[in-house]
Structure 1
Amino acid sequence: MAALRLRESVIEAKQKLANGREKLKRQHEAGTPGVQLCAQITDCFDGIILDLVNAAADDVPGFTPERVLSNIAVVPHGGYGRRDTAPYSDIDLMVLHAPTFREPAIQFTKRLQQDVFDVGLILGHSLRTPSQAISAALSDATIFTSLAENRYLAGSVGLFRDFAEPFRRKARRSYRGLFHAIMKARDEERQQYGEIVHLLEPNIKRSSGALRGIQMVRWLGFAKFGENELDSLNRLGAISDRDRKILRDAREYLLRLRNELHFHAGKSSDLLDRAEQIRIAEMHFIASIRPQSVVTTLLGPIMTRRVDRDFHVGPYRISTSRRWKQHRAGQLDQVLELMIAASRFERQIDHPTWEVIRARFQGQGEIEMTEATRKAFLTLLSEPGRLGQLLRRLHELRLLEKIVPGMAHARCLLQFNQYHKYTVDAHCIKTVECATEFLEREDTLGAVCRSIKKRWLLHLALLIHDLGKGFPEDHSIVGAEIAGEVADRFWLSPQDKETLVHLVRYHLSMSHLAFRRDTSDEQLVLRFAMENGPAERMKMLFVLT
């Protein structure tokens, strides 16, 4: 059987793609910024696609190329539309067609799809009329977020405008529904790729704190204002100057990192695994980053009710008065009181309040641990509502380590083994969050968790249980010493101090008993119970395990 012969246009496009990638790889190695290189990759892909579009238009039976191109429009969208294209990214194209031109448009799209595939690019494509495209986008969050990043490439400008302008208007009218759909879709993706930023092996595109978070700002901006560029959103007052700079710097860093992953793998690769972390950490362009560091944090007015003269609780968020922002935002005990209210009412603290808190504490050194701060933090630990998220925010603001000094050493501390997927600090906070979720379970674990009287003590033990890692000695022994220091810092009673130290020192003992010893031996189990009693402590150890 004779081998299939590629069309001349495809052979030329394959050579152009190979030459383009090689040239761009040299530019990347020479230090070309990530955003600039992605734009050049997009230009390279655009040139190839335009050649293939013209070849496909010339191959539709019974129609001249001019007539074909006057009845279709080729629209890049998603990352390709945004011009964030990485070296081996797939490309998303929508072919718009006039309602009376469907059959020729199908012929055109089949030829284009085959040629793009033969060139070696991965293509995601759709064929729609402008009205069909708008309807699909407004009824599906995934389609909406991709088409929100659209631009014209070839064909009829008028047909493209028939889609783009009504789409922008209708999106703004549907903002509230789109907002909830986008947030839900992003939550589902985070559950799959990592819901917190301190993953040991993050996905540079989809994990929390990565490129997807920046893209979500663009999508929500398009839905609310009809604009998705950060500069435009800044001019509209939707994001501050500071946030614009943070997002732009983060985008540059992450795109450059993603380009490196792609070039080194020679294929699409967005997972920053351990081997890549070690390799990239030695490279000049991020040599100043600490070796332990992974990609870290970037990044509806209805009736409200006042629960305090300074706190206002709405349906989704809790906000603060101007007086609180001016006089109390720089006091750690007052910030903790705000968090207690947010946890009790299960509301998020609004962004302007966080901005003020962040500005007040930025660059501060040691903070005096007052009695009010100690009491407020222990009270916060007893409130399960949003405890994990609030501890995480305290850690991001570098306030948690001022309360529990051992958290500074654990920040971004790696632990590669079969038991853990997060850095030490993130793991400790995650265990607290899991314990609060146990309260909702209808099983033995849930019942035991609900029966514990001093849940704040359990949460404190969980928060510090692995802080002994990263030292030469056994982490449980070092951790017990840290637990004693924490107990003294919080002026715990002798009994509570003993319990805290014991839980940290022996936090692996019950799992060792369950998996390494014969639990049918009644004497063994009895001896374990006597060593780890009383009953309240045993309950805590069970939940901790």
Structure 2
Amino acid sequence: MTEAVTAVSLPPIPRLPVAVPRSGVSSEARRALRQLLGDLDRSIAVAFRDGADAVALARRRSDSVTRIVAHVWMACLGEVTGAALFAIGGFGRGLLFPYSDIDLLALIERSDTSRLRALEQCFATLWDIGLKVGHAVREPTQCKTLAAADASVFTTLLDARRLAGDATLDATLRAIVDAPDMWPPKAYLRARLADRDARHARFDDTAYNLEPNLKDGPGGLRTIDSLRWLGQRLAHANDFPQMVTEGLLDPAECDTLLQAEATLRRYRFALHLEARRPEERLLFDYQRALATSLGFEDEHEKNLGVEQFMQGYYRAASQVERLGIQIADRFEEMLEPPCAAQPVGEDFIRYGSRLAVRDPDLFMRRPASMVEIFIARLDEKGLIGFTADTMRRIHQATAIVGTKLADDPQALSAFLQLLKRGAPAVEALWRMNRHGLLAAILPAFGKVFGRMQYDLFHVYTVDEHTVRVLRNMARFADNATHSEFPLACEIWPTLPKPEIMLLAALFHDIAKGRGGDHSVLGEDDAREFGNKLGLPSEDIERVAWLVRWHLLMSTTAQRQDITDPDVVHRFAEKVGGRERLGQLYLLTIADIIGTSPRLWNAWKDRLLSDLYTSTRYALRREAKPSAGRSARISACREKAMEQLVAEGRDPAAIEKVWAGFPESSFLRHHPQQVAWQTAAILDANGKLPLIAVHPMSVRGSTELFVYAPDRDGLFANVTAMLDRLHFSVMEARVLSSNDGKALDTFLLLEAENQKPASLERADELYQRLHRALAQSAPIMPPRRSMSRHLKHFQMAPRIDFQQADGRTQMALVCSDRPGLLAAVTQVMMTCEVRVHDARIATFGERVEDFFQLTDRRNNPLGETQQQRLWHALVERIGPS
């Protein structure tokens, strides 16, 4: 959306009566000032909503507050000598957003009691009339000492503006700031960069958080302020146009910074008005309302107005972040003596650890060299980056040449050569993205630059997510990560063409936001670009296939029963070959980890590796697994028996236990699980209920086994207790023995960190559940309030029923909430429905659970019972 600039008259600066020196501010006058401030803020809010410029309104508010503060100063202190009041912070720069603090510095030459009392009265009056004042009272020597010790204190003085009092103290303050020994350029630069790094670390070092901080986050308004402070201190340039004059910025960069700053300031102004407080975070609580108030509208369900609004933020912040890093590098070079030049090939030279071009016009004369310099950086040892001038020339040439690079045969050839480097190319691709070069070569990638998805599943913008997927792939080539990704590290070296994987990563989400299936649209884009690169047809088809089916492995593993050979066979038929299986596995886990760090855990690791192993075996057999139930049951029994006998168990006792096991135990469980459950039953010597907990099972999770007299409500009681203990159920198998026992298996992770339980937690689970099941009273799940995040992503449940294999299969898609599974099972118990199998999957705020159900006579649910269950679930877990 392009915002139109509307000519709106600004509220007038209030006229105040002449203050009577040292008379104070009467109660009546205070009421009048409060009324005046209220009227001012209301008129400013109306003007903004009518389209007035946010910066002009912030300046108008600053001018108005300046008059009010000066009026109160005069009333409390009069025409005083040896004391002055200065505005600092944003107020010092002449900007006050609707709920910004009023930062003040009182500089006094002596601290006598009467003056301090008058200052106290002044600040108390300002608070009383409705101004949120932050103030400091200092003598010049104290001010100098603090400024010398703390760069942040010194920085506040750079923006100091006298509001009232003794004018001679302007020079006093200026002398402190200009003192030669006060934060020399190199020391000040180091301090500002350390402050930047510390701030960024608090926000995960990325501007792409779902709820970013407009002020202090990476690429936020504080970054822009820091650039101005560096310009002031290091180059005597007070603003960006002056930095252009000093050669630290080019006009295009200056325009980019000013436009990004205007966007961030407009968003901040609107955020203050929406939150009605000095809120700097774009919380979910405000995002939709802000998008509406600023005129963003839904295009379609995959390009919401709120997503367009947030894309405006992400683009502005990423531009500020990129230029901030480049300009800081320029300052560092400015303060360091140049090194001797050394040749690097025909076109490039190096100055110490930085790479540059021989010919300043090289990038314009031969655009492909913009890609070649990134290759040269990979090949040349000891380089940490490009010179500031080279970075600027890359940026300038990219802006001028634009998407013509996408059709430049030399540039595309160089890009392919870069991709063929495999894992080392990833760092170059990340840097190319920061320069806008990647979007020039792949115009479709430019469309998802800053593109967010309004959910809790995708925690990064599409371009940031894509870069993280690439970086995950690079980790698979690093032997140091073998313990973390053993299977991936074994597969990566076997792939003959790493460029296929890098291209699949680049294109897998490139069509997000267009409407339609992004996998299908991305497949077309990948095929078109492969042809441009001149890839062999089989490589083009491989990349296109990976893009089209990049979600296949994760959805199969999480939504289907991969212990079922028919499921594995169908998946193997779709994959078609072992090399493609390995490629899909690598893309799948890189995609999951790159979507959100919280999504990857040991359970998913084992789930996907199990599917990979089973599929590889199925592909090697090259035949449908026609081995029927009896053969699969026999194989499982044989392996489980071997393990139990090796542990010293009596085969006759084992067979006696197995006589009560249903066939499903051997069809749906691994032999290790069957052996573990059997051993637990043997060790119990008939004492029930039996609770067994395996803290770290072969399934990458904590395994819970419940063996007890079967009764309706048992499953609901177990899930309620698991919810009380803050465990997440990843998978549940509910079986009934031939002699009336329940054999229920749960795979669990800690709800807080998505990790298997510790030994202490496993023991707590055993003790608490054992005591609970020994009683006949039902266990009710706790009532916990929904998190602030989840409240903004509530959807009506979607419930589908199907009949298969003598049971009713129910698919439940709904919004996540605390205690969801326990609530669902409580509803099922009330509706006289039995659960026989459960598959649990959570994607951010969205839950996709699958259940196999019957009535209490183990028959499929009839239409009436399905409707009863549907209505009860909607009433219990639907949005409130």
What's the TM-score once normalised by structure 1's chain length?
Answer: 0.80
Question: Could you say which residue in structure 2 is the equivalent of 1:479?
Answer: 522
Q: Quick one: distance in 2 between partners of 1:233 and 1:403?
A: 30
1:81-92 to structure 2, matched below 5 A, reads: 81-92=92-103
1:53 aligns with 2:73: yes
Structure 1 residues 38 and 317 mapped into 2: Cα distance closer, same or farther (>3 Å)?
farther
**Number of matched pairs:** 522
Letter in 2 for 1:132: Q
- 2:420–2:498: 8 Å Cα contact kept in structure 1? no
Tell me the SS of whatever aligns to 2:161: coil
Query: How far did 1:277 drift?
Result: 2.0
Q: Quick one: distance in 1 between partners of 2:340 and 2:542?
A: 42
**Alignment match of 1:445 (pick from 484, 495, 505):** 484
Structure 1 residues 228 and 401 mapped into 2: Cα distance closer, same or farther (>3 Å)?
closer
- 1:412–1:423: 8 Å Cα contact kept in structure 2? yes
1:237-386 to structure 2, matched below 5 A, reads: 237-272=247-282, 273-282=287-296, 293-295=311-313, 296-297=315-316, 298-299=319-320, 300=333, 301-302=336-337, 303=339, 306-308=342-344, 310-314=347-351, 317-321=354-358, 323=359, 325-342=360-377, 345=382, 347-364=384-401, 366=404, 367-370=407-410, 372-379=413-420, 382-383=423-424, 386=427
Query: How far did 1:466 drift?
Result: 0.8
Query: How far did 1:79 drift?
Result: 1.0
Structure 1 residues 31 and 401 mapped into 2: Cα distance closer, same or farther (>3 Å)?
closer
Listed one character per residue, the Cα deviations across residues 397-453 of structure 1 (whole Å, up to 9, x for unaligned) are xx4345334324434544212212344334323433455577597563366666633
**Alignment match of 1:390 (pick from 410, 419, 431):** 431
Q: Quick one: distance in 1 between partners of 2:44 and 2:212?
A: 25
Tell me the SS of whatever aligns to 2:484: helix
Query: How far did 1:50 drift?
Result: 1.9
Query: How far did 1:541 drift?
Result: 3.7
Tell me the SS of whatever aligns to 2:162: coil
- 1:172–1:223: 8 Å Cα contact kept in structure 2? no
Identity of counterpart residues, as a percentage? 24
Q: Quick one: distance in 1 between partners of 2:353 and 2:396?
A: 24
Letter in 2 for 1:390: R
Structure 1 residues 17 and 188 mapped into 2: Cα distance closer, same or farther (>3 Å)?
same
**Alignment match of 1:44 (pick from 38, 57, 64):** 64
Instruction: Give the number of the structure whose residues are more often helix, by fraction.
Output: 1
**Alignment match of 1:512 (pick from 543, 546, 555):** 555
**Alignment match of 1:206 (pick from 200, 213, 216):** 216
Structure 1 residues 385 and 183 mapped into 2: Cα distance closer, same or farther (>3 Å)?
farther
Q: Quick one: distance in 1 between partners of 2:395 and 2:30?
A: 54
**Alignment match of 2:173 (pick from 130, 144, 163):** 163
Question: Could you say which residue in structure 2 is the equivalent of 1:542?
Answer: 589
Structure 1 residues 151 and 485 mapped into 2: Cα distance closer, same or farther (>3 Å)?
same
Question: Could you say which residue in structure 2 is the equivalent of 1:60?
Answer: none
Question: Could you say which residue in structure 2 is the equivalent of 1:467?
Answer: 510
- 1:480–1:504: 8 Å Cα contact kept in structure 2? yes
Query: How far did 1:469 drift?
Result: 2.5
- 1:346–1:385: 8 Å Cα contact kept in structure 2? no
Runs of 5+ in structure 2 lacking a partner?
1-24, 298-304, 321-332, 593-880
1:71 aligns with 2:85: no
Q: Quick one: distance in 2 between partners of 1:494 and 1:219?
A: 55
Tell me the SS of whatever aligns to 1:362: helix
Tell me the SS of whatever aligns to 1:416: coil
- 1:179–1:220: 8 Å Cα contact kept in structure 2? yes
Structure 1 residues 524 and 30 mapped into 2: Cα distance closer, same or farther (>3 Å)?
closer
- 2:85–2:163: 8 Å Cα contact kept in structure 1? yes
Q: Quick one: distance in 2 between partners of 1:420 and 1:518?
A: 25
Pairwise CA RMSD: 3.9
Query: How far did 1:14 drift?
Result: 1.6
Structure 1 residues 134 and 464 mapped into 2: Cα distance closer, same or farther (>3 Å)?
farther
- 1:333–1:376: 8 Å Cα contact kept in structure 2? no
Structure 1 residues 479 and 43 mapped into 2: Cα distance closer, same or farther (>3 Å)?
same
Q: Quick one: distance in 2 between partners of 1:246 and 1:226?
A: 21
Q: Quick one: distance in 2 between partners of 1:466 and 1:171?
A: 53
Question: Could you say which residue in structure 2 is the equivalent of 1:122?
Answer: 132
Question: Could you say which residue in structure 1 is the equivalent of 2:160?
Answer: 150
Q: Quick one: distance in 1 between partners of 2:148 and 2:564?
A: 63
Question: Could you say which residue in structure 1 is the equivalent of 2:225?
Answer: 215
**Alignment match of 1:12 (pick from 32, 43, 47):** 32
Query: Mean Cα displacement is larger for which, 74-83 or 384-393?
Result: 384-393
- 1:445–1:543: 8 Å Cα contact kept in structure 2? no
Higher relative contact order (CA 8 A, sep 6+): 1
Question: Could you say which residue in structure 1 is the equivalent of 2:111?
Answer: 101
Query: How far did 1:46 drift?
Result: 1.1
Q: Quick one: distance in 2 between partners of 1:188 and 1:391?
A: 25
Tell me the SS of whatever aligns to 2:454: coil
Tell me the SS of whatever aligns to 1:153: strand
Tell me the SS of whatever aligns to 1:152: strand
Question: Could you say which residue in structure 2 is the equivalent of 1:403?
Answer: 441
Question: Could you say which residue in structure 2 is the equivalent of 1:61?
Answer: none
- 1:94–1:126: 8 Å Cα contact kept in structure 2? yes
Query: How far did 1:280 drift?
Result: 0.7
Q: Quick one: distance in 2 between partners of 1:317 and 1:90?
A: 43
Query: How far did 1:218 drift?
Result: 0.5
Query: How far did 1:290 drift?
Result: 7.2
- 2:356–2:390: 8 Å Cα contact kept in structure 1? yes
Structure 1 residues 540 and 423 mapped into 2: Cα distance closer, same or farther (>3 Å)?
closer
Query: How far did 1:93 drift?
Result: 1.6
Q: Quick one: distance in 1 between partners of 2:350 and 2:488?
A: 29
Structure 1 residues 240 and 387 mapped into 2: Cα distance closer, same or farther (>3 Å)?
closer
- 1:35–1:252: 8 Å Cα contact kept in structure 2? yes
Structure 1 residues 132 and 337 mapped into 2: Cα distance closer, same or farther (>3 Å)?
farther
Query: How far did 1:514 drift?
Result: 5.4
Q: Quick one: distance in 2 between partners of 1:434 and 1:346?
A: 23
Query: How far did 1:15 drift?
Result: 2.0
Tell me the SS of whatever aligns to 2:455: coil
- 2:341–2:351: 8 Å Cα contact kept in structure 1? yes
Q: Quick one: distance in 2 between partners of 1:380 and 1:349?
A: 20
What's the TM-score once normalised by structure 2's chain length?
Answer: 0.52
Letter in 2 for 1:319: A
Query: How far did 1:42 drift?
Result: 0.8
Query: How far did 1:320 drift?
Result: 2.4
Tell me the SS of whatever aligns to 1:444: coil
Query: How far did 1:334 drift?
Result: 0.8
Query: Mean Cα displacement is larger for which, 529-538 or 339-348?
Result: 529-538
- 1:14–1:120: 8 Å Cα contact kept in structure 2? yes
- 2:433–2:439: 8 Å Cα contact kept in structure 1? no
Letter in 1 for 2:348: F
Instruction: Give the number of the structure whose residues are more often strand, by fraction.
Output: 2
Tell me the SS of whatever aligns to 1:470: coil
- 1:329–1:335: 8 Å Cα contact kept in structure 2? no
Q: Quick one: distance in 1 between partners of 2:130 and 2:463?
A: 43
Letter in 2 for 1:326: D
Question: Could you say which residue in structure 1 is the equivalent of 2:240?
Answer: 230
Runs of 5+ in structure 1 lacking a partner?
58-64
Q: Quick one: distance in 2 between partners of 1:113 and 1:132?
A: 20
- 2:99–2:278: 8 Å Cα contact kept in structure 1? yes
Letter in 1 for 2:342: R
Listed one character per residue, the Cα deviations across residues 196-240 of structure 1 (whole Å, up to 9, x for unaligned) are 566665543334444333212211112213443334434444434
